[in-house]
Structure 1
Amino acid sequence: MRQDERQWELDAMRGLMLVLMTLTHLPTRLSDPLGQPLGYVSAAEGFVLLSAYMAGRVYSTKADQHGTEAMKNAFFNRALKLYACQLALVLFAFTAIAGIGLLSREDAITGLLGFFLERPVVATVSASMLLYSPALLDILPIYIVFMLVSPLALLHGMAHGWRGVIAISLVLWFGAQFGLGPALYQLATGWFDMPLRYRDMGAFEIFAWQLLWVIGLWLGCTHSQTDHVAAQFPRWMVIGALALALFALVWRHAVGQTPMPAGSAVNLMFDKWHLGPLRLINLLALLVLVMHYSDWLKQHAPRWRPLETLGKAALPVFCAHLVVALLALAMFGASRPGRPWSVDALILFVGFYALWVVARLSLARDRRAALRRDRRAHPPGNVLSPSGAGQ
């Protein structure tokens, strides 16, 4: 998407998701109260949905304008870029962060990198194959998988409609609620010697979270069409979504991030890692409200330029927020009630200032790259000198 075609509200929403994720992952006393601030939905769901929406818009347009091969190549190149980012983050975690954690004997790091510290060679090889995904480093691997399979879903949806794609996605999500991932893991261990435990392969159940990606692709592809008409939700649906979203918002801040006492089966319905059904309903209610009131929000919501800046440089900022969070955990440990406010304030200030610097540097680099591309595409013409005018 060219700079002049960007929608500022999408960049601002991505920036907001990055801010919320950073507040959640930095080990300060704000992590718990600002985690899931809009109900039983986290910033991760919003970020995945927005990323898929942008991918659906950008790559379906590329397929229409430049052909399917160009679209497939773009997806593959993006996956390679994500893979390079993941390798860099893993290398940083396995060297600098592990070293600091061992020297400081910080449980937050030794626990997070426990499998690597037990079996460093196996962990390194497995991480390079996107199999071993310690906490905080387990989102980019599923992004890479989504990028690699997205051309199939997008091309089928563009050619034959999205009902079949969404139906298959719902079946996979349903299976994930009843242990599809662990069952496939057990099947694989019957054929291969798997040194990894299932829990070391990442907290996100990919068969559940793919549903969000497919929904985002579908919406992005649909909204990219020139004849697209904005969705009109019936009044009862909007009122129901508003009531449900408000109830979840009040309940979350009244009782905390866990809706029921420990041990209650209801909590599984809100599970983040499996994208439980009640959590999904909460997310869809918020999605209906955002889509229904989008025009009003664009007209009346203030434009917070820092959020747009962060959103425009989403990938570098996302990676930077993981670096900052890992460093904070290694140096200060997990959040503790007795820690002075001044320490938490320092962590937050340094963390967000680092994200801002990364965003500005990334955008400046992109502008320079765009300028070089324009110069190559439109080289200045040769100016004839007076002596050569008659040649």
Structure 2
Amino acid sequence: MKRIPALDSIRGLLLVIMTINHLFWISGGNSIIQMFSLQPLGQFGAAEGFILVSGFLAGAIYSRPHLSNSELRSKAWSRAWSIYKYHIVCLLIVFVWFALCVTYMPTSAEMLEVNLTSLVDAPWSSVLLSAALVNKPSYLEILPLYIMYMLLLPILIAAYRRGWMAMVLLSSVVVWAMSGHITDAVIIHLLPGAALQTGYFDPFAWQLLFIGASAVGYAANKGNFNWYSKWLTVAAGVTAAVILLMHHGFFLQWGIHQGVLYGLADKPELGWLRLLNIAVWAYLIAAVIKHRPNLLVFKPLSYIGRHSLQVFAWHTVMIYLMAPMLWAQRFNAHYEWLVFVCLASIWIPAWIREHSGGLSQLKRWSLGAGSAMTVGLMLSVVFRFEPAPQVVANTDGLAPLTIKVANIKGDGPIILLVYGEGDNLNGMPSIHAQGYSVSQATAGIRIDAIPVGKYAIFAYQDNDGNQRLTSGSNGLPTEGFGYSNNPALQGPPSMEQVQFSHPDKAHQTIQFWNF
């Protein structure tokens, strides 16, 4: 199959969107830009598209007729090995960077450890299990999926060649349907006592995207795949339009809001609505490429799309290196500009890849990683945190807790709730619950005599005076709110995401989300 330039552009666009979202999420910021980067076309995002395109290309490229089953196995596994090496390099750089932060920039390490909890709790086992693709720290989850699916690819194509495609697809659907019952508890049971981050994406669910796309790629490569139909195109267009309208709140009067949609389009488990949504958009995009091959081609995006592995690996490392600097600047007016500067750097690995033909792979990696770490260190030092005053508990094991709230938009009182380790985030807290003025919350609220322990904070602005966080008909809060640790929100956070140790983190700044 000939190279499809539009697919390079699409992969490039997906890489741009993922990078934007990850920069905002890892640094605890938010921006109006996310209205265009967070699922703008419906109930699916860039990660799903990336796996789908990768599966299609894998099915097409590795099923070329001149490749025997043994040759395609060798090539596919060689590709998996290459991806694995990139993943290991990413892990090493991120882990070394975290160790440097722990030693020289402890306040930077504090904000990074939310994404590297296993490394904090059990460093050596975390490193070993990460190398074994069992432990998957935040933002280091996609490449392990791709590695596993590439190892599976020779079996898939061999089955397709035997005429067993329907059986393979049916088996994939069955595994997807059962994926919700294959929980992390299985892995945890096999590795008792290990500190694990099993990853955001369920590999047993997401395999359906890769396998389904690989089957389409295989069929397309054979040349007799008659997939296009005007009526099917109309049906796909209508379906995409209806889901898009639901996604943007046009059917609220019938009770269809984001809360309902998310239940049907669960991202980690790849809900059926998410699958349907990305399938119809994939069909529509394929129809556009069929009739107007160059319409979706944009050379700057194609440039990075042609080197997606290198760019993806770079972005994974870069977001960790830039996170401390962006975190420190997330309340400032130039925060979004810094995000775009970081985003622009993803063209660097593509340039290195195209202009370093005389360099060995090791030298290319060293050049890229060394440059990225140097820039990250310099920026993190220049835009470093102002260290919070160290708080020490008194002889009774008590210490004050200071809480500031930023990004407040309204004038209503700020309700501050401090939860103990055993509390339920959906209930009333056992530690502290009180309202404060905007000026008090902005200046900082000091709560004296908090025992040493683990706590979580939830704050919201009670503009309507109903003593609770009000949500609109679309299911989204209409009042500002935020949590300790300022987690990236894709739904209600867990206690682990918002919990902190006191008095180690006795100075908390909560950035409000305002939808």
The correspondence for 2:235, drawn from 240, 250, 267, is 240
Alpha-carbon distance, 1:123 to partner: 0.6
Alpha-carbon distance, 1:131 to partner: 0.8
Corresponding residue number in structure 2 for 1:10? 7
Q: CA, structure 1 residues 266+290, in 2 after alignment: closer, same or farther (shift >3 Å)?
A: closer
The correspondence for 2:338, drawn from 316, 338, 346, is 346
Alpha-carbon distance, 1:265 to partner: 6.1
Aligned counterparts of 1:50 and 1:302: Cα–Cα separation in 2: 15
**Does the 8 Å contact 1:328/1:347 carry over to 2?**
no
**Mapping for residues 150-229 of structure 1, pairs under 5 Å:** 150-176=153-179, 178-182=180-184, 184-185=186-187, 189=189, 193=192, 195-197=194-196, 200-225=197-222, 227-229=223-225
Whichever residue aligns with residue 5 of structure 2, its letter is W
Q: Which runs of 5+ in 1 are unaligned?
A: 370-391
Alpha-carbon distance, 1:98 to partner: 4.7
Of 99-108 and 111-120, the range deviating more from structure 2: 99-108
Alpha-carbon distance, 1:97 to partner: 3.5
- 1:292 lines up with 2:287 in the alignment: yes
**Does the 8 Å contact 2:264/2:271 carry over to 1?**
yes
Corresponding residue number in structure 1 for 2:324? 330
Whichever residue aligns with residue 279 of structure 1, its letter is R
Deviation per residue, 1:333-359 (Å, 9 max, x gap): 2884x331x23212312331x211211
**Does the 8 Å contact 1:53/1:217 carry over to 2?**
yes
Alpha-carbon distance, 1:44 to partner: 0.6
Query: Secondary structure of the equivalent of 1:9?
Result: helix
Corresponding residue number in structure 1 for 2:151? 148
Whichever residue aligns with residue 221 of structure 1, its letter is Y
Aligned counterparts of 1:194 and 1:331: Cα–Cα separation in 2: 34
**Does the 8 Å contact 1:166/1:214 carry over to 2?**
yes
- 1:308 lines up with 2:302 in the alignment: yes
- 1:87 lines up with 2:88 in the alignment: yes
**Does the 8 Å contact 2:55/2:210 carry over to 1?**
yes
Whichever residue aligns with residue 330 of structure 1, its letter is P
**Does the 8 Å contact 2:43/2:277 carry over to 1?**
yes
Greater helix proportion? 1
Q: CA, structure 1 residues 334+179, in 2 after alignment: closer, same or farther (shift >3 Å)?
A: farther
The correspondence for 1:356, drawn from 347, 355, 371, is 347
Query: Secondary structure of the equivalent of 2:162?
Result: helix
Query: Secondary structure of the equivalent of 1:66?
Result: coil
Alpha-carbon distance, 1:39 to partner: 1.1
Aligned counterparts of 1:366 and 1:218: Cα–Cα separation in 2: 34
Number of equivalences: 347
Corresponding residue number in structure 2 for 1:49? 52
TM-score, structure 2 normalization: 0.63
Alpha-carbon distance, 1:105 to partner: 4.0
Of 203-212 and 323-332, the range deviating more from structure 2: 323-332
Deviation per residue, 1:198-251 (Å, 9 max, x gap): xx11111000000000011111111111x424412351x333321222233344
Whichever residue aligns with residue 203 of structure 2, its letter is I
Whichever residue aligns with residue 282 of structure 2, its letter is L
Alpha-carbon distance, 1:266 to partner: 4.9
Q: How much is the aligned-residue C-alpha RMSD, in angstroms?
A: 2.5
TM-score, structure 1 normalization: 0.82
Query: Whose Rg is larger?
Result: 2
The correspondence for 2:23, drawn from 22, 26, 40, is 26
Aligned counterparts of 2:101 and 2:193: Cα–Cα separation in 1: 29
**Does the 8 Å contact 2:149/2:207 carry over to 1?**
yes
Report which structure shows greater RCO (CA 8 Å, sep ≥6). 1
Q: CA, structure 1 residues 173+362, in 2 after alignment: closer, same or farther (shift >3 Å)?
A: same
Q: CA, structure 1 residues 274+306, in 2 after alignment: closer, same or farther (shift >3 Å)?
A: same
Corresponding residue number in structure 1 for 2:382? none
Query: Secondary structure of the equivalent of 1:160?
Result: coil
Whichever residue aligns with residue 301 of structure 2, its letter is L
**Mapping for residues 90-109 of structure 1, pairs under 5 Å:** 90-100=91-101, 103-105=106-108, 107-109=110-112
Aligned counterparts of 1:150 and 1:54: Cα–Cα separation in 2: 11
Deviation per residue, 1:99-123 (Å, 9 max, x gap): 3365234654110011201110111
**Does the 8 Å contact 1:53/1:216 carry over to 2?**
yes
Q: CA, structure 1 residues 268+254, in 2 after alignment: closer, same or farther (shift >3 Å)?
A: closer
Aligned counterparts of 2:274 and 2:126: Cα–Cα separation in 1: 32
Whichever residue aligns with residue 241 of structure 2, its letter is L
State, as a whole percentage, how many aligned pairs show the same letter. 26
Aligned counterparts of 1:106 and 1:242: Cα–Cα separation in 2: 47
Greater strand proportion? 2
Corresponding residue number in structure 1 for 2:270? 275
